Structure 1
């Protein structure tokens, strides 16, 4: 394969050969799955309902409508699910409301910590036995919650542990929200690292855990609304602190742009050309590089939010200097008004993978090439690698969990 080089940069020639990418055997043989297999739905939870529906539900349960706001204050603002702590409600009302509207959705199976206690990965069992993971991370200036939106994933990206496990089912809005509420509780109870002074809050949520968020569009948008609705009816987070990642489901990107939710869009591009991206991100055979980048550009134009281009660096696969040049060209031809930022991610190891992270010198050169072309770029500070909690590693591994509670992935055809 040949691409145009950049003669004005040291070491570049007018035409430079790039080694052909060789698809590893049996790593991307899973089919793309856009529609989740049907399984038993989780019970309806308070976080599945909007404020009006909550009032109606409370009245239908035989209680005064104002109890809905009291329950919301306990759940979203006070982070309290134990009815014994709801001392402003009569004892009989407490148990009835808890039983009707706060069914247990997530059961913690295992917690692993690293980074001196600043990173906690939790393995959750859902009501039907499916397993998902979330990761809570403290940084000097923020606390980020990485949430799952599906049990498994149907996008079949060969370098991603989640994608190689197949798709079990979509998660409900409340199952997504509960991950964030649990993270907030951990912080409130001082269970994340060595807190100094006032207990921190979850300032950022990234939909970068298990699953393709835009393939579970209704539940994810519902969760976004619960996260951003002001307290006490929601968690009161800023939409600007929330990032939704996608491999590039173009119709859903366009739809999200019109939701009035100015969250950050992160496009998992990973290759600047269709030949390579077809192999690394199989959904590219549906919506190619130009189509997904155009959709990302339109998202930025509509929401006034800068888009993040996620690019995992894989040694000798997509990390050549010429691919940095090609990536810059793809992005810059949409304009230079600050609409995009490239986030480079060193490949994290996954079981059975034949790939490794780029050499540091290749990573540095990739950064230099992008910067020379005026493309903003950073290299992600990888967290949780030691506990398989980093990007691409979440797979709800359950080797030490009773196999009887682990639902097998369903690999349905599109």
Structure 2
């Protein structure tokens, strides 16, 4: 499906192209109903418009044939469905597809479609860049520019959904792209409210995962939302000294505070916690590291996702060798940890978060 390249600015009233139309995806149902009534149209049309966008994959208001022609013309004059454009789209032999999406203000974010059996999962960004400073991650090498809007997050989802064939259905959403989702929590929750709605994308909250390096106050806010999203905490180390080395923001938080907040989240909604652990050769892949992990996790109802590092050009970190990976796994399993070693997907297309944007920038410069 060819998506439009119109680029109104979703963060200010006018884009660099001079287009003053609003981003439709920034409006929730109530906002759209108010706009319709102010312009002399019944509020029930809002759900018709949203059905076309979210379920029938419409990319143009003229496709909305159950709307009166004058309303279609008014919508077209007032809004755009897609505010960004696709700078680059790449695909891998394993079915992974990755988009580099260029925003109206010139910023770029990445999002990924992953095919695994019958699962069709998408990984979506929440910020332009990232401020968390994980030393091995390409997303944060240049810091963070800004939060994405609700509409910019939703647009990534729709662009990836549009790449599915007629017999494919989106099944899972992961907020694990560029940025820290809990640092942009209000807009992330706004976008996910559409993702989980039967009138939106219709994805069960139990198939939606929010990934975080661990921001305790925001984890508590997420728990208070009452929606049973899966929480994935990017741990990456079993102790404060090593975690602060790899995830500098940990210096002001501490691993105990992160674990305690994760426990409170589990108590609030009963969903088993996931901890992510990127395995870096010679840094956090020793048997002693594995034993420490066992000591802090074995009494918790958790799944540990271990991810062998996907190397990034210009960074000194390496994928562990097969022997180290096997030994690390053996220690964890012997300690009774539920562990899954994630298969690397999309390596040939720079599928690790932030790689495509960074490598493209190098090529342009």
TM-score (norm 2): 0.91
Deviation at 1:149, TM superposition (A): 0.7
- Provide the residue aligned with 2:48 in structure 1: 70
- Provide the residue aligned with 1:205 in structure 2: 173
- Whether contact under 8 Å (1:324, 1:369) holds in the other structure is yes
Residue-pair matches, total: 349
C-alpha separation between the residues in 1 aligned to 2:103 and 2:280? 33
C-alpha separation between the residues in 1 aligned to 2:38 and 2:54? 22
Higher helix share: 2
- Provide the residue aligned with 1:28 in structure 2: none
- Provide the residue aligned with 1:220 in structure 2: 188
Quick check: 101-110 or 71-80, which moved more? 101-110
Deviation at 1:87, TM superposition (A): 1.3
Deviation at 1:51, TM superposition (A): 1.9
- Provide the residue aligned with 1:11 in structure 2: none
Equivalent position to 1:125, from 102, 112, 115 = 102
- Provide the residue aligned with 1:3 in structure 2: none
2:361 partner SS? coil
- Whether contact under 8 Å (1:370, 1:377) holds in the other structure is yes
1:131-170 matches, within 5 Å, as: 131-170=108-147
For the aligned residue pairs, the C-alpha RMSD in angstroms reads 1.8
Equivalent position to 2:57, from 48, 59, 79 = 79
C-alpha separation between the residues in 2 aligned to 1:358 and 1:245? 23
Equivalent position to 1:58, from 36, 40, 62 = 36
1:6-405 matches, within 5 Å, as: 40=12, 44-116=22-94, 118-187=95-164, 190=165, 199-231=167-199, 234-332=200-298, 335-336=299-300, 339-391=301-353, 393=355, 395-399=357-361
* Deviation digits for residues 250-309 of structure 1 (CA, Å, limit 9, x no counterpart): 100111011121111110010011011111001111111111011112111211111111
C-alpha separation between the residues in 1 aligned to 2:28 and 2:101? 25
- Whether contact under 8 Å (1:114, 1:384) holds in the other structure is yes
Gaps of 5+ in 2: 1-10, 16-20
Cα separation, partners in 2 of 1:173 and 1:244, compared to 1, 3 Å: same
- Whether contact under 8 Å (2:232, 2:274) holds in the other structure is yes
Deviation at 1:401, TM superposition (A): 7.4
C-alpha separation between the residues in 2 aligned to 1:145 and 1:208? 9
Deviation at 1:326, TM superposition (A): 0.4
Cα separation, partners in 2 of 1:272 and 1:392, compared to 1, 3 Å: farther
Largest Rg, 1 or 2: 1
TM-score (norm 1): 0.80
- Whether contact under 8 Å (2:87, 2:101) holds in the other structure is yes
C-alpha separation between the residues in 1 aligned to 2:356 and 2:214? 20
- Whether contact under 8 Å (2:305, 2:339) holds in the other structure is yes
* Deviation digits for residues 22-65 of structure 1 (CA, Å, limit 9, x no counterpart): xxxxxxxxxxxxxxxxx747874333233222211211233221
Deviation at 1:81, TM superposition (A): 2.4
C-alpha separation between the residues in 1 aligned to 2:77 and 2:311? 43
- Whether contact under 8 Å (1:270, 1:277) holds in the other structure is yes
2:167 partner SS? coil
C-alpha separation between the residues in 2 aligned to 1:299 and 1:99? 44
Gaps of 5+ in 1: 1-38, 191-197, 404-414
- Provide the residue aligned with 1:10 in structure 2: none
2:146 partner SS? strand
Cα separation, partners in 2 of 1:392 and 1:360, compared to 1, 3 Å: farther
* Deviation digits for residues 94-128 of structure 1 (CA, Å, limit 9, x no counterpart): 12113324353220111111125x11111111010
Cα separation, partners in 2 of 1:307 and 1:207, compared to 1, 3 Å: same
Greater relative contact order (Cα < 8 A, sep 6+): 1
C-alpha separation between the residues in 1 aligned to 2:23 and 2:277? 36
